[in-house]
Chain A
Amino acid sequence: MNPKVMIWASVVLSAVAQICLKHGLNRMRASSSQRSGVAGMVMNVASQPFVWMWGISFVAATGLWLLGLQKLELSYAYPLVSFGYVLVNILSAIFFHERVDRNRWISVAVICAGVMMIAGS
Protein backbone atom coordinates (compact mmCIF):
# COMPACT_ATOMS: atom_id res chain seq x y z
CA MET A 1 0.00 0.00 0.00
CA ASN A 2 1.13 3.53 -0.72
CA PRO A 3 2.58 5.01 2.51
CA LYS A 4 0.60 8.21 1.95
CA VAL A 5 -2.66 6.22 1.80
CA MET A 6 -1.69 4.51 5.07
CA ILE A 7 -1.11 7.88 6.75
CA TRP A 8 -4.51 9.22 5.60
CA ALA A 9 -6.32 6.05 6.68
CA SER A 10 -4.62 6.36 10.05
CA VAL A 11 -5.78 9.97 10.42
CA VAL A 12 -9.42 9.10 9.69
CA LEU A 13 -9.35 6.12 12.07
CA SER A 14 -7.86 8.29 14.82
CA ALA A 15 -10.69 10.83 14.52
CA VAL A 16 -13.27 8.04 14.72
CA ALA A 17 -11.40 6.70 17.75
CA GLN A 18 -11.63 10.06 19.54
CA ILE A 19 -15.38 10.22 18.97
CA CYS A 20 -15.75 6.67 20.35
CA LEU A 21 -13.71 7.63 23.42
CA LYS A 22 -15.74 10.74 24.16
CA HIS A 23 -19.00 8.85 23.67
CA GLY A 24 -17.79 6.08 25.97
CA LEU A 25 -16.76 8.56 28.67
CA ASN A 26 -20.07 10.42 28.35
CA ARG A 27 -21.91 7.13 28.83
CA MET A 28 -19.70 6.32 31.80
CA ARG A 29 -20.55 9.63 33.46
CA ALA A 30 -24.24 9.09 32.85
CA SER A 31 -24.08 5.56 34.24
CA SER A 32 -25.66 4.98 37.66
CA SER A 33 -23.16 2.32 38.74
CA GLN A 34 -20.09 4.39 39.55
CA ARG A 35 -17.21 2.75 41.37
CA SER A 36 -14.97 4.91 43.54
CA GLY A 37 -11.20 4.91 44.02
CA VAL A 38 -8.49 4.65 41.39
CA ALA A 39 -9.16 0.96 40.65
CA GLY A 40 -12.86 1.75 40.46
CA MET A 41 -12.22 4.58 37.99
CA VAL A 42 -10.23 2.20 35.80
CA MET A 43 -13.10 -0.31 35.99
CA ASN A 44 -15.62 2.41 35.10
CA VAL A 45 -13.63 3.25 31.97
CA ALA A 46 -12.92 -0.37 31.02
CA SER A 47 -16.59 -1.39 31.24
CA GLN A 48 -17.56 0.89 28.35
CA PRO A 49 -17.72 -0.84 24.92
CA PHE A 50 -17.06 2.46 23.14
CA VAL A 51 -13.82 2.85 25.09
CA TRP A 52 -12.82 -0.56 23.73
CA MET A 53 -13.74 0.56 20.22
CA TRP A 54 -11.47 3.53 20.77
CA GLY A 55 -8.71 1.10 21.74
CA ILE A 56 -9.17 -1.09 18.66
CA SER A 57 -9.32 1.89 16.27
CA PHE A 58 -6.33 3.37 18.02
CA VAL A 59 -4.23 0.21 17.59
CA ALA A 60 -5.18 -0.12 13.90
CA ALA A 61 -4.43 3.57 13.30
CA THR A 62 -1.09 3.19 15.05
CA GLY A 63 -0.10 0.18 12.90
CA LEU A 64 -0.96 2.02 9.69
CA TRP A 65 0.85 5.07 10.99
CA LEU A 66 4.08 3.17 11.72
CA LEU A 67 4.12 1.46 8.32
CA GLY A 68 3.47 4.73 6.51
CA LEU A 69 5.82 6.85 8.61
CA GLN A 70 8.74 4.51 7.95
CA LYS A 71 8.73 5.63 4.31
CA LEU A 72 7.94 9.31 4.87
CA GLU A 73 9.57 12.30 6.54
CA LEU A 74 8.30 13.08 10.04
CA SER A 75 7.84 16.77 9.20
CA TYR A 76 5.65 15.73 6.24
CA ALA A 77 3.49 13.07 7.89
CA TYR A 78 3.00 14.50 11.37
CA PRO A 79 1.18 17.76 10.46
CA LEU A 80 -1.30 15.77 8.33
CA VAL A 81 -2.78 14.53 11.60
CA SER A 82 -4.24 18.01 12.01
CA PHE A 83 -6.83 17.07 9.38
CA GLY A 84 -8.24 15.16 12.33
CA TYR A 85 -9.37 18.55 13.78
CA VAL A 86 -11.61 19.00 10.80
CA LEU A 87 -13.09 15.52 11.14
CA VAL A 88 -13.50 15.77 14.93
CA ASN A 89 -15.27 19.12 14.62
CA ILE A 90 -17.72 17.76 12.08
CA LEU A 91 -18.29 14.54 14.02
CA SER A 92 -18.65 16.39 17.37
CA ALA A 93 -21.27 18.66 15.84
CA ILE A 94 -23.18 15.69 14.47
CA PHE A 95 -22.97 13.23 17.35
CA PHE A 96 -22.61 15.38 20.49
CA HIS A 97 -24.43 18.50 19.28
CA GLU A 98 -21.42 20.49 20.46
CA ARG A 99 -21.86 24.03 19.29
CA VAL A 100 -19.52 24.73 16.38
CA ASP A 101 -19.73 28.45 15.65
CA ARG A 102 -18.75 30.31 12.49
CA ASN A 103 -15.41 31.24 14.02
CA ARG A 104 -14.56 27.58 14.41
CA TRP A 105 -15.59 26.69 10.87
CA ILE A 106 -13.28 29.45 9.57
CA SER A 107 -10.40 28.02 11.56
CA VAL A 108 -11.25 24.55 10.25
CA ALA A 109 -10.92 25.96 6.71
CA VAL A 110 -7.56 27.55 7.56
CA ILE A 111 -6.28 24.24 8.93
CA CYS A 112 -7.51 22.45 5.80
CA ALA A 113 -5.55 24.90 3.65
CA GLY A 114 -2.42 24.24 5.73
CA VAL A 115 -2.89 20.49 5.48
CA MET A 116 -3.27 20.71 1.70
CA MET A 117 -0.06 22.73 1.40
CA ILE A 118 1.85 20.15 3.44
CA ALA A 119 0.30 17.27 1.51
CA GLY A 120 1.59 18.92 -1.67
CA SER A 121 5.04 19.67 -0.27
Chain B
Amino acid sequence: MSSYQQSGSSVMVEPLPPVATGPAPAKGLRGVLTRWWVAFSASAVFVVSGHLLIKFGLNAAAAHPVTAGAIGKILHIVLQPEVFVGLLIYGLGSACWIVAVAQQEISFLYPLSSLNYVLVAGASVLFFHEAISSKRGWGLALIVLGMILMNRKTKGTAQ
Protein backbone atom coordinates (compact mmCIF):
# COMPACT_ATOMS: atom_id res chain seq x y z
CA MET B 1 0.00 0.00 0.00
CA SER B 2 2.96 2.32 0.55
CA SER B 3 3.31 2.81 -3.18
CA TYR B 4 0.00 4.63 -3.18
CA GLN B 5 1.30 7.24 -0.74
CA GLN B 6 2.57 10.37 -2.34
CA SER B 7 6.10 10.78 -1.04
CA GLY B 8 6.89 14.12 0.52
CA SER B 9 3.27 14.93 0.98
CA SER B 10 1.13 14.78 4.04
CA VAL B 11 -1.88 13.86 1.93
CA MET B 12 -2.64 10.15 2.16
CA VAL B 13 -4.10 8.66 -0.96
CA GLU B 14 -7.06 6.45 -0.23
CA PRO B 15 -5.86 2.87 -0.34
CA LEU B 16 -7.43 0.86 -3.11
CA PRO B 17 -10.24 -1.37 -1.97
CA PRO B 18 -9.08 -4.95 -1.55
CA VAL B 19 -9.49 -7.12 -4.64
CA ALA B 20 -12.67 -9.10 -4.29
CA THR B 21 -11.56 -12.66 -3.69
CA GLY B 22 -14.73 -13.81 -2.05
CA PRO B 23 -15.00 -15.07 1.51
CA ALA B 24 -11.96 -16.69 3.09
CA PRO B 25 -11.88 -20.34 1.99
CA ALA B 26 -13.32 -22.72 4.55
CA LYS B 27 -11.81 -26.13 5.20
CA GLY B 28 -12.89 -29.49 3.79
CA LEU B 29 -15.59 -30.23 1.19
CA ARG B 30 -17.46 -27.05 1.96
CA GLY B 31 -14.28 -25.08 1.41
CA VAL B 32 -13.75 -26.64 -2.00
CA LEU B 33 -17.35 -26.13 -3.11
CA THR B 34 -17.41 -22.51 -1.99
CA ARG B 35 -15.05 -21.68 -4.84
CA TRP B 36 -17.60 -20.97 -7.55
CA TRP B 37 -15.53 -22.37 -10.41
CA VAL B 38 -15.10 -25.76 -8.70
CA ALA B 39 -18.86 -26.05 -8.22
CA PHE B 40 -19.44 -24.83 -11.78
CA SER B 41 -17.00 -27.31 -13.36
CA ALA B 42 -18.51 -30.22 -11.44
CA SER B 43 -21.94 -29.09 -12.60
CA ALA B 44 -20.82 -29.00 -16.26
CA VAL B 45 -19.40 -32.55 -16.14
CA PHE B 46 -22.52 -33.97 -14.51
CA VAL B 47 -24.97 -32.06 -16.71
CA VAL B 48 -23.34 -33.19 -19.98
CA SER B 49 -22.84 -36.84 -19.03
CA GLY B 50 -26.32 -36.98 -17.52
CA HIS B 51 -27.85 -35.68 -20.73
CA LEU B 52 -26.12 -38.24 -22.89
CA LEU B 53 -27.46 -41.01 -20.67
CA ILE B 54 -30.94 -39.49 -20.86
CA LYS B 55 -30.90 -39.47 -24.66
CA PHE B 56 -29.70 -43.08 -24.68
CA GLY B 57 -32.66 -44.00 -22.49
CA LEU B 58 -35.14 -41.95 -24.55
CA ASN B 59 -34.06 -43.80 -27.68
CA ALA B 60 -34.46 -47.11 -25.85
CA ALA B 61 -37.93 -46.09 -24.62
CA ALA B 62 -38.96 -45.02 -28.14
CA ALA B 63 -38.28 -48.58 -29.30
CA HIS B 64 -41.08 -49.79 -26.98
CA PRO B 65 -43.73 -47.04 -27.14
CA VAL B 66 -46.70 -47.03 -24.76
CA THR B 67 -50.17 -45.75 -25.64
CA ALA B 68 -51.01 -44.48 -22.14
CA GLY B 69 -51.73 -40.78 -21.54
CA ALA B 70 -49.19 -38.01 -20.99
CA ILE B 71 -48.46 -39.08 -17.39
CA GLY B 72 -48.08 -42.69 -18.50
CA LYS B 73 -45.69 -41.62 -21.24
CA ILE B 74 -43.58 -39.61 -18.81
CA LEU B 75 -43.51 -42.51 -16.31
CA HIS B 76 -42.54 -44.92 -19.07
CA ILE B 77 -39.69 -42.60 -20.04
CA VAL B 78 -38.49 -41.77 -16.52
CA LEU B 79 -38.48 -45.42 -15.46
CA GLN B 80 -36.06 -46.35 -18.22
CA PRO B 81 -32.88 -47.12 -16.22
CA GLU B 82 -30.64 -44.91 -18.37
CA VAL B 83 -33.07 -41.99 -18.13
CA PHE B 84 -33.45 -42.47 -14.37
CA VAL B 85 -29.71 -42.60 -13.71
CA GLY B 86 -29.12 -39.78 -16.22
CA LEU B 87 -31.63 -37.62 -14.37
CA LEU B 88 -29.92 -38.39 -11.03
CA ILE B 89 -26.54 -37.36 -12.46
CA TYR B 90 -28.18 -34.30 -13.99
CA GLY B 91 -29.67 -33.55 -10.55
CA LEU B 92 -26.22 -33.79 -8.99
CA GLY B 93 -25.07 -31.26 -11.58
CA SER B 94 -27.97 -29.01 -10.61
CA ALA B 95 -26.98 -29.21 -6.93
CA CYS B 96 -23.49 -28.05 -7.89
CA TRP B 97 -25.13 -25.32 -9.98
CA ILE B 98 -27.04 -24.05 -6.91
CA VAL B 99 -23.77 -23.80 -5.00
CA ALA B 100 -22.17 -21.88 -7.90
CA VAL B 101 -25.15 -19.54 -8.28
CA ALA B 102 -24.94 -18.68 -4.59
CA GLN B 103 -21.38 -17.35 -5.20
CA GLN B 104 -21.69 -15.61 -8.55
CA GLU B 105 -24.06 -13.45 -10.58
CA ILE B 106 -26.38 -15.60 -12.65
CA SER B 107 -25.97 -13.47 -15.76
CA PHE B 108 -22.25 -14.26 -15.59
CA LEU B 109 -22.55 -17.99 -14.83
CA TYR B 110 -25.36 -18.90 -17.18
CA PRO B 111 -23.54 -18.12 -20.44
CA LEU B 112 -20.47 -20.03 -19.24
CA SER B 113 -22.55 -23.17 -19.20
CA SER B 114 -22.85 -23.03 -23.02
CA LEU B 115 -19.58 -24.94 -23.06
CA ASN B 116 -21.88 -27.87 -22.39
CA TYR B 117 -23.48 -27.47 -25.83
CA VAL B 118 -20.26 -27.98 -27.71
CA LEU B 119 -19.52 -31.11 -25.69
CA VAL B 120 -23.06 -32.39 -26.20
CA ALA B 121 -22.98 -31.72 -29.98
CA GLY B 122 -19.68 -33.59 -30.32
CA ALA B 123 -21.04 -36.49 -28.30
CA SER B 124 -24.25 -36.55 -30.41
CA VAL B 125 -22.18 -37.15 -33.52
CA LEU B 126 -20.00 -39.72 -31.76
CA PHE B 127 -22.65 -41.74 -29.95
CA PHE B 128 -25.90 -41.13 -31.85
CA HIS B 129 -24.45 -40.66 -35.34
CA GLU B 130 -26.34 -37.41 -35.74
CA ALA B 131 -25.35 -35.30 -38.73
CA ILE B 132 -24.41 -31.70 -37.92
CA SER B 133 -25.45 -29.69 -40.98
CA SER B 134 -23.43 -26.58 -41.80
CA LYS B 135 -26.39 -24.44 -40.71
CA ARG B 136 -26.49 -26.19 -37.35
CA GLY B 137 -22.71 -25.95 -37.04
CA TRP B 138 -22.72 -22.20 -37.73
CA GLY B 139 -25.56 -21.74 -35.28
CA LEU B 140 -23.50 -23.50 -32.62
CA ALA B 141 -20.47 -21.39 -33.49
CA LEU B 142 -22.52 -18.20 -33.11
CA ILE B 143 -23.74 -19.36 -29.71
CA VAL B 144 -20.16 -19.98 -28.57
CA LEU B 145 -19.07 -16.59 -30.01
CA GLY B 146 -21.89 -14.95 -28.09
CA MET B 147 -20.73 -16.77 -24.97
CA ILE B 148 -17.17 -15.49 -25.39
CA LEU B 149 -18.38 -11.92 -26.00
CA MET B 150 -20.62 -12.15 -22.98
CA ASN B 151 -17.79 -13.28 -20.73
CA ARG B 152 -15.22 -10.80 -21.97
CA LYS B 153 -14.36 -8.83 -18.90
CA THR B 154 -15.05 -5.15 -19.14
CA LYS B 155 -13.60 -2.67 -16.66
CA GLY B 156 -15.76 -2.21 -13.64
CA THR B 157 -17.99 -5.16 -14.32
CA ALA B 158 -15.46 -7.92 -13.68
CA GLN B 159 -16.62 -10.16 -10.89
**A contact residues vs B (CB 8 Å cutoff):** 18-19, 21-22, 25, 29, 38, 45, 58, 62-63, 66-67, 69-70, 73-76, 78-79, 81-82, 84-85, 88-89, 92-93, 96, 98-101, 103-104, 106-111, 113-118, 120-121
Give A86 to B107 CA distance when docked, in angstroms.
Answer: 10
Given contacts A25-B101, A115-B139, contact A103 B154 (CB under 8 A): yes
Residues of B46-73 at the interface with A, using a CB-CB cut-off of 8 Å, are: 51-52, 54-55, 58-59, 61-62, 70, 73
Q: Is B120 an interface residue (CB 8 A)?
A: yes
Interface residues of B (CB under 8 A from A): 30, 51-52, 54-55, 58-59, 61-62, 70, 73-74, 77-78, 83, 87, 94, 98, 101-102, 105-107, 110-111, 114, 116-117, 120-121, 123-125, 128, 130, 132-133, 135-136, 138-143, 145-150, 152, 154, 157
Contact of A117 among B52, B105, B135 (CB under 8 A): B135
Contacts of B140 in A (CB 8 A): 79, 114, 118
Flag if B136 contacts A118 (CB, 8 Å). yes
Q: A115 — which chain B residues lie within 8 A by C-beta?
A: 139, 143
B116 — which chain A residues lie within 8 A by C-beta?
78
B87 & A62 in contact (Cβ 8 Å cutoff): yes
Q: Which residues of A contact B157 (CB under 8 A)?
A: 99, 101
Expressed in whole angstroms, the minimum distance between the Cβ of A19 and any Cβ of chain B is 8
Could you tell me the dominant secondary structure of chain A's interface residues? helix
